[in-house]
A and B are shown apart, each in its own frame.
Chain A
Amino acid sequence: MKNSRSTILFLALLSLFMFSIGMCQIKVVTTLTDLKSITELIGGDRVDVFAIATGYQNPHFVDPKPSYILKLSRADMFVTVGLDLEIGWVPPLLNSARNAKIQKGGEGYTDASLNIPLLQVPASVNRGEGDIHIYGNPHYWLDPMNGKIIAQNIFNTLVRIDPEHRELYEANLRRFVGTIDTKVKEWTEKVAPFRNTKVIAYHNEWPYFEQRFGLHIMDFLEPKPGIPPTPSQLAKVIEEMKRENIKIIINSPYFTTEDASLVARNAGGKVVTLATSVGANQNIKNYFDLFDYDVAQIVSALQ
């Protein structure tokens, strides 16, 4: 009798242990909220995701706070935009994370840019051109069709580290791809009447969005990428807007609107602040909301 009680207790504990293993979530750290959103959409309940940058933060300039090291030290998976977008803050974080799984080449490391058809890959690299990204423009998540490739890269890592739940991830990936295709059709139809509209942007971070939705970015408030607007550049843009009848200046949440507003006032245009990432405002809760919001903003400004 004593033996059978011990066996019952042992098996009950074993069951609890097995159950806890089965339910144990995969800890994921992503650099951006967009990658967090896609990881959650593919990983479902299996993943517990933390994004380092907020949705309203300039992704080039994030402080590598030690508290992020703590998150990375416990992570099973790390997802990065790559292409040197986060070169100023990801290397010091990974170097201190003391976690082999998420280092480059580790099974949990995910470069979301793999297989992305890149735009603006420079033929030569010269810092005289400003903050040039040597592998190409890294703001590729702003084309929703690239979201499918990002999702595929995230799926590959999830299957690699958690093959038991492959079917779940496949089903979620299929659903994600289907939703993107359906939504892209809706979004492009909404923007279709305004195809080839000429616009100005603050920073060169919209080429993928521009290509997908048929806008035509003529110039930037920054004279060169990463160099703050100068009076001569603003004067040049004002002249250009008047000459080309450009009415829209696209700003990002993390740039002050002073320069854009000054140009808009002098050129008779208006400033549209588009969201660059999920969480840019409280209504943008996932990757689909991001484009719902941006498309609505563009359409409303151009109507």
Chain B
Amino acid sequence: MDHSVKNLLVASLISFCSIATSSAQQDSTDVDSLLVKQLEQQMLSSTPAPSPHAAPRSAPTANPDISAIGDFRSSYTSIGKRKVETYLNELELQVASVVDPYARAEFLFSFGKDLNTGELGIELEVATLTSTFLPYQLQATLGKFKPQFGKINILHPHYFSFVDFPRMINNFFDSEGMFMEGVSVSGLVPNPYDFYQELVVEVGRVGSEPNASLVQGETNRLLYMGHLKNFFDLTENATLEIGLSALTGPNKYAFSTTIADLDVTYKWKPVQFNTFRSFTWQTEALLCKTKPNSNENVQTYGAYSFAEYQIAKRTFVGARYDYSAFPGDKSLEDRTTSLLLRFQPTEFQILALEYQHANRSYGADVNQVVFRVIFGIGTHAAHAY
């Protein structure tokens, strides 16, 4: 009895599998016309055997992608001896390529002018190796990079909507933002609602550039950073991104500074006419706890909010409000308002005019007008959303 049941089940299993395999096959009896038979013959003779690595078309060169982006500025500032400036703020040279089937690399050099000394300096801002083939859909980057802290720190100046970083970034890190040397690992987080959620964890030391909150330190204490990015498609035309970030690392007092950050970005772009109209609203706030000694913890804040509207295919207007204190010092505060007009003749050239009014608790109000021209040549990798 047992044997017959087993035989029956094995037979049914085999037939089940064969049904499963053949169920997707379609009846080809309707394709037996003379025309189709001729086509069949043609195809049999012309169909190449599928190759496991059919080479896509590529440039007849193994050179990496190389791009150079210039950032020229003219400005008027209401205070100071030299009210009018005209200078090349930065030249960014990027070299990027796939290293091998398992990784890609990027190097970014910045040639910038120190406005105080007038000297041109060269800085290696980014040098990374990114592995694309880790298990569990993880991605790892090592080297020197801009940590994914908040929404705006990761951007390079040529990609800003406005001509400068918000005061919050200037005051708590540096006018170029924060850099880091270490390892970054990111992964997609499965969730029951199936929206995009990415967790990034970074460990290392803060870059050697000036940084108001953090230092590389003399001890083994490292910089730890985490970022959780949540992205929602609200409609076909609108998206919402909410990010949470936190970092802790050594400060100049040989204690720790801990910073938490929340970023919210709403974007609207009608899919059909997405090159003609768009709207972005972005807000970010940080809370910084600086420990200057073993007994004290100084808590200060920074925030910005901007809106940008595209009024024509090549023209954008925007406004930004910033508030920021400084790390470890509640008495110093900046409040700035910026108005922007940006014109982009093509993707490779941006002209921007910005007016900024700064109200400072530690000095006179400042009015500034900046005219900036960004121009790029070569092959520059497209930016993430």
Binding site for B on A (CB under 8 A): 3-4, 7-8, 11-12, 14-15, 18-19, 21-23, 44-46, 54, 56-58, 61-67, 69-70, 73, 82-83, 87-89, 91-92, 95-96, 98-100, 103-105, 107, 109, 111, 113-114, 127, 134-135, 152-153, 155-157, 159-160, 164-165, 167-168, 170-175, 177-178, 181-182, 226-228, 253-254, 256
Contacts and interface: CB of A to CB of B under 8 A. Distances in A.
Interface string B322-343: 0000000000000000000000
B9 A7 contact: yes
Interface of B: 1-2, 5-6, 9-10, 12-13, 16-17, 20-21, 23-26, 28, 31, 33, 35-36, 39-40, 43, 47-48, 50-57, 59, 101, 104, 130, 132-134, 137-139, 187-188, 194-196, 198, 229, 231, 233, 236, 239, 241, 267, 269, 271-276, 313-314, 345-348, 377, 381-385
Contact of B56 (A114, A171, A177, A178): A114
Given A67-B231, A113-B57, A3 B2 contact: yes
B383 A92 contact: yes
13 contacts: A11-B13, A18-B17, A18-B20, A21-B20, A22-B21, A69-B188, A82-B56, A104-B56, A114-B54, A127-B348, A153-B54, A168-B26, A178-B39
A8 B13 CA distance: 11
Contacts of B187: 98
B35 A181 contact: yes
Q: How would you classify the secondary structure of chain A's contact residues: helix, strand, loop or mixed?
A: helix
A152 B25 contact: no
Given A96-B139, A228-B314, A107 B52 contact: yes
Contact of A15 (B13, B26, B52, B195): B13
Given A66-B229, A156-B54, A54 B31 contact: no
Nearest to B44: A170
Given A109-B56, A156-B54, A254-B272, A177 B17 contact: no
Given A167-B25, A178-B33, A254-B273, 4 more contacts: A22-B21, A23-B20, A177-B43, A254-B274
Given A11-B9, A168-B25, A22 B346 contact: no
